[in-house]
Amino acid sequence: MEKTLLITNLTWNQKEYLATALYHDKKLLEVSLELQDKQTILHNIYVGRVKNIVKNLNAAFIEIAPGVSCYYDLDELKNPLYVKKINCPRMVQGDEVVVQVVRERSKGKPPKVSTNLNFSGKYLVLTSESTTLSISRKLDAETKKSLKESLNFIREPDCGFIIRTNAAQASAEEIKEEYQILRKEYLNLKENAVHRTVFSCLKKQIPEYLHILRDMKTGQLDSIVTDDAEILGQIRQYLEQFPKQEYILKFYEDPMISLNKIYSLDTRLSEALRERVWLKSGGYLIIQPTEALTVIDVNSGKSIAKKKAQEHYLKINLEAAAEIAWQMRLRNISGIIIVDFIDMKSAEDNELLLRTLRASVREDSVPVQIVDMTKLHLVEITRKKVKKSLAEQLMA
């Protein structure tokens, strides 16, 4: 079962995109689309200017470019890096401060910024407003203990670190080297920021395909395929930093058939925009995004069983749980998601359904929380908002 990262150019509705798609065999797991003439600002770091303070929201709006105003939650304010500070202990209009974009513009909402700057590596994340050392929740207790003991050199008074899942497969020397690189990058940015003018971009995020490569667990990816020679060179240069990772890097150059067609990317995207998703059992999902949340309805459809109906409904619901986990990841559905599964009378069956759903979302690269099942048998889910949904990316 091979996992492949595909990077190719895509034309959709007469617009040119750079597509970064992750496949498991020929099944599309997730995809990111960037307009060729409009790069994302997500994770970029800027010198911003406080445009105004909204007291009833306990929020500020900070401009990172002329006319580009971003939301900032004042509850997150801890130890910001000011470039220019008006003589007031609070953040006020006119202050110039270093911020990082943590969420793209989505559904009419402005981008969101943070003063807690993150500098991410493959094994560590440096955080500017936290001085604690924390470890990925995906690691077991024994691994966490071992890492804390072997990485006791990671202590700084002016910043904190998060030990990522990938650190479990790296040596202490490799992690220490990355620690020193991130620390130096942070100190250089702090030193240079005070000399930069407002709206300066202090740090630009690496391309999405390198971002995905960096976040991949060692051994989780088998091959990387692209038909762009420039991108091939950038990936090759990036991989030289990690000689232990043996990816198969392929350059596709067959003029007779495009890489897009080989992997049916157009077809998969069209399917991912449809409201109805059929299940193998004959049941189906209806996926309906609204302004406030996304509603997913599970229906028995063509699947009919006159005998042992409850067992039949359980089978459809379990199949639907796996499909919903995949569809959320593929479509990048974020925020609040409400799922109306087929009603089941058995408490044990409902508990099995929730366990299956929780297990199905573990492979998602974005944090997902299965909150609970309400008295009306609606399942509440939250998925962290970071990037635009697939539909929004294609409508950009």
What are the extents of the domains in the chain? 3-39+208-266, 41-204, 273-395
CA–CA distance, 123 with 134 (Å, rounded to integer): 12
Model pLDDT for residues 81-111, shown as the tens digit of each residue: 999 999 999 999 999 999 999 998 887 789 9
Q: Is 149:93 a contact under the CB 8 Å cutoff?
A: no
Model pLDDT for residues 310-340, shown as the tens digit of each residue: 888 999 999 999 999 999 999 999 999 999 9
Model pLDDT for residues 98-150, shown as the tens digit of each residue: 999 999 888 778 999 999 999 999 999 999 988 888 888 888 888 888 888 88
| pLDDT for residue 20 is more than 90 | yes
| CATH topology classification for 3-39+208-266 | Nucleotidyltransferase; domain 5 (3.30.420)
Average pLDDT taken over every residue of the chain:
90
Model pLDDT for residues 62-84, shown as the tens digit of each residue: 999 999 999 999 999 898 999 99
Cβ neighbours of 323 (radius 10 Å): 20
Model pLDDT for residues 4-14, shown as the tens digit of each residue: 999 999 998 88
Encoded tokens for 336: 């609040």
Q: Is 333:389 a contact under the CB 8 Å cutoff?
A: yes
Determine phi and psi for 230, rounding to 5 degrees: -65, -45
pLDDT band at 306 (very low <50, low <70, confident <90, very high): low
CA–CA distance, 163 with 19 (Å, rounded to integer): 29
| pLDDT for residue 305 is more than 70 | no
CATH class of the 41-204 domain in this structure: mainly beta
pLDDT value of position 245? 64
Give this prediction's pTM.
0.84
Q: Which residue has the tokens 């996926």?
A: 287
